[in-house]
Structure 1
Amino acid sequence: MSQSSTARTALDRPVIAVAGLGIESSTFSPARTEAPAFHPARGTAIFDRYPFLAPGAPLREAAEWHGALVGKSLPGGTVTAAAWQALTDELVERLAALPALDGLWYDIHGAMTVEGVDDAEAVLLERIRATVGPDVVVSTSMDLHGNVSRALVHRSDLITCYRMAPHEDHMETKERAVRNLVDLLTTGAPRPVKAWVPVPVLLAGEQTSTRIEPAKSVYAAVDEVEAAEGVTDAAIWVGYAWADEPRNRAVVVVTGEDTEAVARGAERLARGFWDARADFDFVAPTGTYDELLDEALASERKPYFISDTGDNPTAGGAGDVTWGLTRLLERPEFQKEDGPTVIYASVPGPAAIDTAVAAGVGATVTVTAGAAVDDRHAGPVTLTGVVHAIRHGDRDAETEVVVRVGSVYAILTRLRKPYHHEHDFTDLSLDPRSADIVIVKIGYLEPELFAMSNGWKMALTPGGVDQDLVRLGHHRISRPMFPFDRDMADPDLTARIIPASDQALTGTEE
């Protein structure tokens, strides 16, 4: 009889490994992601990522921990086949060199697209299972914008994701995944039942923020389902909208010891998401870029934030689309030094960085940046201005430079970087709170920016993460799918009970 239906042996101090690769990969961006972008950590260095696994922390003391390899990249383009091969080969080799394991924490994002590979995270987990053996209990933690195939659920014993967007609960979610794993191993409980429900809805994260309805209520039900007797965890995945694979869609998974309870809970959550599908809307008012610039100039609310959404590097945009900065610099209102103060973040340009650094702060330079990767919407932008600030050593950008052109403070970087925190600006001698307008390549504002904004709208701009999903050209997703097929019939939202990972998976992907 399998371990899924019999009690496991309780372990005083189980042996657990940590491994995983995480990225959101837009298949609509021409960018490609190479191995160094994952900043892979190995061995004990992995634990520096997780405060709850710091030396002396209760969860650290509850098990014997081993780090294999964990790599996390900024969202970007498709991962190259060579990068995938190098990273996964090393991850598996490191796992093979560890002592016999009782458990594995699989820390991923869930939206990684690889050249020539569909469902990359499930494929990697299959390799991991072949290496560590079928008896090892796997707990998978994910972003709610990840994709959850039937195969990924089958190969995981426990699986969970964030419940907030923006992801203010990201570390809490990882800790929950680890705690559930440790509890299962130390109590000897059987592997849980898993109820999986694919929901044929694919929406952008900016349309499903849990700050507002209906996502606020849809996700509030997760806690209620999890609190039911016989349920260990409950999760709703929105899915990743800017990749084109059969697995991309919303999904619900509920795990626990009681088959009826997990099925009932999963169907409740799936029905709640489906019923709300037409009510999801953008988290902020939207408009064209020029419309929003006009509104910001007319507004007395400062600082007025504009999200340049189409090239958001934290959603998978190439980050070097120059369309927004080019149009900004063309506006006569900003061409004089005493015009309204605008901060624009950001455009990569290694050659521009070299020129500005050589000239130094205070020098006037003419530099060209951007469109080295994504030139579909505008070519490289050339600007002449004064070097306002230079900063070296950023983890993502490496070197940052601010060039003032008229009243525009344009941030240029050696490598692409998201700007989410106030210190991202103040470190560059910029004060976003006193600016008239702050334009950031982002979708919904991250918490610090949201808190400081006195006005905010989202510009529907072009790029690899265009918010107009229907016009992007998906052709591999499972159809029918809302909003691509608005008049589709109600789907089958019956819970599919997925067997434990040590049993054969029957049936095909739905």
Structure 2
Amino acid sequence: MSPSRTPAARTPVARPVVAVAGLGIESSTFSPARTEAPAFHPRRGDDVLTAYQFLASGTPLRDAADWRGALVGKALPGGTVTAAAYAELSDELIARIRGLGHLDGLWFDIHGAMTVESVDDAEAELLARVREAVGPDVLVSTSMDLHGNVSRELVRLSDLITCYRMAPHEDAMETKERAARNLVDLLTTGAPRPVKAWVPVPVLLAGEQTSTRIEPARSVYAAVDETEATEGVTDAALWVGYAWADEPRNRAAVVVTGPSRQAVTAGAERLAHGFWAARHDFAFVAPTGPLDDCLAEALAAAPEERPYFISDTGDNPTAGGAGDVTWSLERVLSRPEFKDPSGPTVVYASLPGPAAVDTAVRAGVGAVVTVTAGAAVDDRHAGPLTMTGVVHAIRHGDPHARTEVVLRVGSVYVVLTALRKPYHHEHDFTDLDLSPRTADIVIVKIGYLEPELFAMAAGWKMALTPGGVDQDLPRLGHHRIHRPMFPFDREMPDPDLTARIIPPWNE
């Protein structure tokens, strides 16, 4: 769009027809794992709408439009998506959109960090296909995780684009509602397509270094709300980016949208400069150290500092780790303090091992079994781990783990799963007859603690362990990202943070 051109007004639509579609996953290119189509647990048709409370029958937003589900699939973070899985899901998504008939708008619900074999910008490629399917007049609103990656092409193909403003993502549903509501407002008022100001920021940091619980991210993201409140701005968004993929699009980014070119330009540049200025101040959200040091501190903790949580960060399945690295558990079980059942109570969650789970299920609760688990996918740091222990609990039917087993090995309660699963909620433990609140040490494959665990932890430290989402980014070996990039090039010159006005997709 040229500086002098005024966006064309549109005809208001009293009750627009809006489709919902998208595929979402964080994909670590540093993990040997591969993600197949079933991992996305796709919802189809009317079942898509049931995932969003704000679209429940009788809610104002549901009544404001004729909502039609196409296909939405969301996978746990993991490895690169196979070309076959992407083709299967995207082909079905496009076919379902084509089958919906006339559309006025489309809400594109994605994560933004999906890596596909031989594809560098999977979400933009998918949205380009969606555009071909829906025609030139349909407006698209894209909602994302703040750990997504925002290419110029993705912004060009979207009329509105936004992301979460909190890490942990306590505002995830609020963000999705904002994306859907802004789209409906645009359609029903007949306002012109928004002006979009995009600023790529050459910073790539781990989520654990950019949590909005602490400074400087707390203030950096507070400025997003302030920018959105500016006259002439519809929405403001700041993406940290996804650090564990090696792709040219990976970096932080800002997009501000709205009717005023001047307002969105000023807002985007303010946010970009604020993030860049704070780059040296970002630090891990909790104290960090080698695993052995974390264990020593946990064992020395006073009673009021327990339960003491340790994040096993390098194999975090909710950041893209394979989940089956045995390196940490091997070291925990080798420590003399935990050899006897009367030793300090430790809960370890978790390690996939379908054969081990089957053995424990056949033996039953109370049986003593010897099983081997882990390192079926990621064996770069340690091999499969053999353990002898008492079957403490068995649980079937979890949507992620499928079957869970707790094996007590000395004083360590090891959670084994048929399929990998993140442990974020207290009921994840209590459902397995475990009491994390009374444990001495709880070790979870996670980065920053999710809200329930954070509230439960009297002490906490992040162990810098190996895996597909290693927190030491420079040692991972990125070679395809644009350089210079902070922190890989710490003394790089100040970048050009001028806002780029991105024209509508069809210009």
- TM-score (normalised: structure 2): 0.99
How many equivalent residue pairs? 503
Percent identity between matched residues is: 79
User: Which of 200, 203, 215 matches 1:201?
Assistant: 203
1:467 corresponding residue in structure 2: 471
Q: Deviations over 1:331-361 (max 9, x none)?
A: 0000000000000000000000100000000
Preserved CA contact (<8 Å) 1:16 1:102: yes
2:386 corresponding residue in structure 1: 382
2:46 corresponds to 1:41: no
Cα distance, 1:48 vs. partner? 1.0
SS in 2 for 1:347: strand
1:222 corresponding residue in structure 2: 224
2:311 corresponding residue in structure 1: 307
SS in 2 for 1:423: helix
Q: In structure 2, how many angstroms separate the alpha carbons of the residues matched to 1:267 and 1:431?
A: 49
Q: Runs (4+) of structure 1 moved beyond 6 Å?
A: 1-4
Cα distance, 1:501 vs. partner? 1.8
SS in 2 for 1:385: strand
SS in 2 for 1:439: strand
Preserved CA contact (<8 Å) 1:4 1:500: no
1:304-453 correspondence runs (5 A):
304-453=308-457
Q: In structure 1, how many angstroms separate the alpha carbons of the residues matched to 2:263 and 2:407?
A: 59
Preserved CA contact (<8 Å) 1:343 1:432: yes
Q: Deviations over 1:383-429 (max 9, x none)?
A: 00000000000000000000001100000000000000000000000
User: Which of 159, 180, 183 matches 2:182?
Assistant: 180
Which letter maps to 2:415? I
Pair 1:458–1:159, CA change in 2 (3 A): same
1:107-122 correspondence runs (5 A):
107-122=109-124
1:95-244 correspondence runs (5 A):
95-244=97-246
Preserved CA contact (<8 Å) 1:140 1:177: yes
2:463 corresponds to 1:454: no
Pair 1:363–1:390, CA change in 2 (3 A): same
Preserved CA contact (<8 Å) 1:309 1:458: yes
Which letter maps to 2:102? A
Q: In structure 1, how many angstroms separate the alpha carbons of the residues matched to 2:360 and 2:270?
A: 57
1:30 corresponding residue in structure 2: 32
Cα distance, 1:5 vs. partner? 1.4
Preserved CA contact (<8 Å) 1:17 1:101: yes
Preserved CA contact (<8 Å) 1:4 1:191: no
Q: In structure 2, how many angstroms separate the alpha carbons of the residues matched to 1:124 and 1:47?
A: 21
SS in 1 for 2:50: helix
Q: In structure 2, how many angstroms separate the alpha carbons of the residues matched to 1:333 and 1:10?
A: 70
Which letter maps to 1:361? V
1:296 corresponding residue in structure 2: 298
2:492 corresponds to 1:500: no
Preserved CA contact (<8 Å) 1:31 1:76: yes
SS in 1 for 2:434: coil
1:506 corresponding residue in structure 2: none
Preserved CA contact (<8 Å) 1:225 1:265: yes
Which letter maps to 2:136? P
SS in 1 for 2:475: coil
Q: In structure 2, how many angstroms separate the alpha carbons of the residues matched to 1:184 and 1:445?
A: 37
SS in 2 for 1:243: coil
Q: In structure 2, how many angstroms separate the alpha carbons of the residues matched to 1:120 and 1:57?
A: 33
Which letter maps to 2:140? V
User: Which of 252, 255, 263 matches 1:253?
Assistant: 255
2:276 corresponds to 1:274: yes
Q: In structure 1, how many angstroms separate the alpha carbons of the residues matched to 2:156 and 2:61?
A: 26
2:53 corresponding residue in structure 1: 51
Cα distance, 1:286 vs. partner? 0.2
Q: In structure 2, how many angstroms separate the alpha carbons of the residues matched to 1:286 and 1:384?
A: 31
Q: Deviations over 1:261-320 (max 9, x none)?
A: 000000000000000000000000000000000000000111000000000000000000
Which letter maps to 1:416? R
Specify every segment of 5 or more residues in structure 2 that has no aligned partner in the other structure, as ranges. none
Q: In structure 1, how many angstroms separate the alpha carbons of the residues matched to 2:478 and 2:7?
A: 41
Q: In structure 2, how many angstroms separate the alpha carbons of the residues matched to 1:4 and 1:243?
A: 39
Q: In structure 2, how many angstroms separate the alpha carbons of the residues matched to 1:326 and 1:5?
A: 61
Q: In structure 1, how many angstroms separate the alpha carbons of the residues matched to 2:480 and 2:49?
A: 38
- TM-score (normalised: structure 1): 0.98
Q: Deviations over 1:183-236 (max 9, x none)?
A: 000000000000000000000000000000000000000011111110000000
Cα distance, 1:4 vs. partner? 7.3
Q: Deviations over 1:16-44 (max 9, x none)?
A: 00000000000000000000000000000
SS in 1 for 2:476: coil
Cα distance, 1:6 vs. partner? 1.4
SS in 2 for 1:165: coil
Q: In structure 1, how many angstroms separate the alpha carbons of the residues matched to 2:357 and 2:334?
A: 22
Cα distance, 1:502 vs. partner? 2.3
SS in 2 for 1:224: helix
